[in-house]
Amino acid sequence: MSKKVIVVGGVAGGATAVARLRRVDDHAEIIMMEKGEFISFANCGLPYYVGGTIEDRESLLVQTPEAMESRFNVSVRTFNEVTAIDREKKLVEVKNLKTGEVYEESYDTLLLSPGSVPLKPPIPGIDSPNIFTLWTIPDVDQIKSYVTENDIREVAVIGGGFIGIEMAENFRELGISVTIVEMLDQVMAPIDFDMAQIVHQHLKDHGVNLVLGDGVDHFENQGKQTDVVLKSGNRVKADMVMLSIGVRPQTELAKAAGLEVGPRGHIVVDDYMMTSDENIYAIGDAIEVVDYITKTKTAVPLAGPANKQGRIAANNILGDKKEKYNGTQGTSIAKVFDISVASTGHNEKMLKRNGLELRKDYLKMVLHPKHHVDYYPGAEAMTLKVLFDSKGKILGAQGIGGEGVDKRIDIIATAIRFGATVYDLKELELAYAPPYNGAKDPVNFVGFFGENILEGMIDLVFADEVALQDKENTVFLDVRGPEEVEARGKIAGSVNIPLGMLRNRLSELDASKKIVVYCIMGVSGYVATRILKQNGFDKVYNLAGGYQSYSIEFCQEGSDLSSCGGHVYEKAEFTEAGEAE
């Protein structure tokens, strides 16, 4: 006897589940309930429709109700909201939002895919008519119309997450002045502060005003303008305000039905996407998931995992054997003007929150490879930060730069999924030709670098540890050429001995002191540390990422450059001889 399955909600997980349910069982009765008009749309593409990169609104509609009904032989009921679940009778109460009719529908299995909604906290003035959130097609229609019909010159974006950054970029593409207000000290929470500083500089380079470490106290509507009044008392004037401060799961229906929910209000499911009721499954933004790295409970509102969960839930509802969902590692990427910002697994903030200590419980590296060989035109630099444990197991990675960042983070994400170590990365055989790569891929260099750290070939000091060094007993050795030092600045109090002269000038260094070596990006510094260690210097460290990492983290503001040789960081294409082996 065929089953009757009701799917509540569409977009990523629900629409995927419906398609898979039909492929698994051509005879099942399948009903999709969606309280809105659209069952499947490209919500990740909405900011680019505002900015005009995506010109055709219809291209955002991945699947229409009519197409889904005809192709998959399902009943698609838009503007039908499920308002209650009777678990004992296996019934749902549904309200037709167009007619007002309320009716009941029975089910054998219920699949909940209610998703999430943007946070809109009770801040005074938040309901002003020029304050918007972006999550759905109706949202983007309102924003597009408001921009078109009004003389918008200044926009305040509240929140520096993915959508906030993407909206800032697209407003700038329209020639609108943009200020991002972020309560934390950095944008883009999936990356660490040292990496976020690269993004901060890039945003400033593209004319975006950044207000960090300051939250919104209230909004004051001044007709067609709004004053964003901050906790500090400062004000940001805006013709339009975009709220992008996070999302919350839509789990009211599940809670009312008595399904188990977690401490942050997400629906609890098992490895098979089943809720605390064996006849009800749940997927997407509304559920708790297992963190793939730590195997603990978390919540990760991303489209990729939601799609996979939809397929797995469908297999388990109508399939012959059970399939597990093995967890989410949080792989993500965003375009920020002409760079990419990507991450996978854990960042350092998460490791520290979990009680782990650098060098004791985890290790890290920072490097700045090019996406292909220097001699082929167009080589673009990237920054990679990789975290791993004492056995080389990869815990997480972040990448920022131009071409090729997505490829490298995807490779490392795959390595994490299959339990690989940094030793395995040096063994990877990846496609090579000068327009695409070097004979040694940046991922191979991560492997080489990780092996050197684990085998004791190199010890590292990181940019945020420079100021913590004992100045009386530490020498900062700059092995760059004098022209580079003059042009780019230096760490205060450094001794400059170019790498090519180091062997002949060892007597100028005090072997009893700790020596922190740095160069442009870390490669020549590594060579210098090997020279020193093999010539009687025991306390030798390399500055991870070189002066490139230090300068972009600490030399962005002109107000206090005493530690940077008086130089404000400027974007530059760095080249450096040598290889990290």
Rg, C-alpha atoms of the chain: 27
- Contact between 361 and 322 under an 8 Å Cβ cutoff? The reply is no
- Contact between 547 and 487 under an 8 Å Cβ cutoff? The reply is no
Among residues 386, 441, 392, 396, the alpha carbon closest in space to that of 416 is found at 396
Q: How many Å apart are CA 307 and CA 12, to the nearest integer?
A: 6
Residues 6+ apart with CB under 8 A from 391: 421
- Contact between 558 and 204 under an 8 Å Cβ cutoff? The reply is no
- Burial (CB count within 10 angstroms: exposed 0-12, middle 13-18, buried 19+), residue 296: exposed
Strand partners, 461: 543
- Catalytically active residues, by annotation: 44
Question: If DSSP codes are grouped into helix, strand and coil, which group holds residue 240?
Answer: strand
Return the axis-axis angle of helices 11-24 and 65-72, rounded to nearest 10°: 20
Among residues 255, 297, 307, the alpha carbon closest in space to that of 277 is found at 255
Among residues 553, 581, 580, 559, the alpha carbon closest in space to that of 569 is found at 553
Among residues 570, 576, 192, the alpha carbon closest in space to that of 366 is found at 192
Residues 6+ apart with CB under 8 A from 104: 86, 91, 92, 93, 94
Among residues 71, 78, 68, the alpha carbon closest in space to that of 33 is found at 78
Residues in the chain: 581
Question: If DSSP codes are grouped into helix, strand and coil, which group holds residue 30?
Answer: strand
User: Looking at this protein, which amino acid is placed at residue 338?
Assistant: D
Q: Per-residue b/e over 110-133, b at no fewer than 16 CB within 10 Å?
A: bbbbbbbebeeeebebeeeebbbb
Return the axis-axis angle of helices 523-533 and 546-554, rounded to nearest 10°: 120
Among residues 41, 223, 209, the alpha carbon closest in space to that of 135 is found at 41
Among residues 302, 258, 297, 264, the alpha carbon closest in space to that of 283 is found at 302
Query: Distance between alpha carbon 48 and the CA centroid of its chain, in Å?
Result: 18
- Contact between 230 and 236 under an 8 Å Cβ cutoff? The reply is yes
- Burial (CB count within 10 angstroms: exposed 0-12, middle 13-18, buried 19+), residue 271: middle
Q: How many Å apart are CA 297 and CA 284, to the nearest integer?
A: 14
- Contact between 403 and 377 under an 8 Å Cβ cutoff? The reply is no
- Contact between 288 and 299 under an 8 Å Cβ cutoff? The reply is yes
